[in-house]
């Protein structure tokens, strides 16, 4: 979610110097890319960054973006950082047919671009709206609104059901946008309701 402490940044800088990494790139997904590393160093780099295991492959949740939200943005209606953390705890290990991007925004200005994420969540005064099946890539698609006015627990439960339904219906490596193009929205909504 783009959150780092001074200690984490200091460690990343140490690792970059140790392994002769010439450039660090802040990506559009709020991540930090170590550019120009030696591929043979990856396990050691990952270890020095404080992780025991290499990250899983692309078939699963690729990232969860969250905006500053209620705590740090004057437009924030809900706590998007807190919800992002909870989604990370509860959904990050799900195995899915293809890479899946999640964006959580604290108001309807939707700075994390929920309509073009596989799973987008944004806040309004009455609660969270959940959007599914968006894509911003070479074949863009605006996601479909699946639920509105949800509290934190409700939106997490609905997010899980959408992802489980995606896992059940999608072909291998099929992105959620392509699945939703060939699925009747009402059928999908019925399957994840309740």
Contact range with ligand SF4 by CB under 6 A, out of 20-28, 31-39, 62-70, 90-98:
62-70
85 burial (CB, 10 Å; 0-12 / 13-18 / 19+) is middle
Q: How many CB atoms lie within 10 A of CB 156?
A: 20
Candidate residues 107, 163, 170, 192; the one interacting with ligand SF4 per rule CB under 6 A: 107
Strands 100-105 and 61-66: parallel
The answer to whether residue 75 forms part of the interface with ligand SF4 (CB under 6 A) is yes
The answer to whether residue 106 forms part of the interface with ligand SF4 (CB under 6 A) is yes
* CA gap 180, 35 in Å, rounded: 35
128 backbone dihedrals φ, ψ, rounded to 5°: -90, 145
The answer to whether residue 109 forms part of the interface with ligand SF4 (CB under 6 A) is yes
- Residue 25 CB, shortest distance to ligand SF4, in Å, is 22
Give the chain's end-to-end CA distance (angstroms, integer): 29
Furthest C-alpha separation in the chain: 54
Q: Which is nearer to ligand SF4, 69 or 147 (by Cβ)?
A: 69
The answer to whether residue 105 forms part of the interface with ligand SF4 (CB under 6 A) is yes
Secondary structure class of 148 (helix, strand, coil): strand
- Residue 71 CB, shortest distance to ligand SF4, in Å, is 9
The answer to whether residue 111 forms part of the interface with ligand SF4 (CB under 6 A) is yes
- Residue 7 CB, shortest distance to ligand SF4, in Å, is 25
Cβ distance 179 to 170 under 8 Å?
A: yes
- Lay out the site mask for ligand SF4 across 151-190 (x = CB under 6 A, - = otherwise): ----------------------------------------
Question: Binding residues for ligand SF4, per CB under 6 A?
Answer: 67-69, 73, 75-76, 105-107, 109-111
């Amino acid at each position: 979610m783009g959150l780092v402490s001074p200690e984490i940044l200091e460690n990343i800088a140490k690792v970059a110097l140790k392994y002769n990494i010439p450039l660090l790139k802040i990506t559009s997904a709020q991540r930090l890319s170590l550019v120009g590393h030696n591929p043979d160093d990856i396990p050691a780099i990952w270890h020095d960054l404080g992780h025991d295991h290499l990250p899983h492959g692309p078939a699963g949740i690729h990232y969860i973006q969250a905006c500053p939200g209620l705590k740090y943005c004057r437009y924030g209606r809900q706590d998007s950082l807190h919800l992002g953390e909870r989604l990370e705890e509860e959904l990050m290990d799900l195995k899915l047919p293809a890479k899946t991007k999640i964006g959580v925004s604290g108001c309807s200005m939707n700075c994390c671009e929920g309509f073009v994420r596989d799973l987008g969540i944004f806040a309004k005064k009455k609660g969270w709206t959940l959007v599914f099946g968006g894509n911003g890539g070479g074949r863009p698609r605006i996601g479909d609104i699946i639920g509105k006015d949800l509290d934190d627990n409700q939106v997490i439960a609905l997010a899980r059901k959408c992802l489980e339904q995606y896992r059940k219906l999608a072909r291998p490596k099929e992105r959620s946008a392509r699945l939703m193009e060939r699925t009747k929205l009402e059928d999908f909504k019925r399957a994840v309701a309740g």
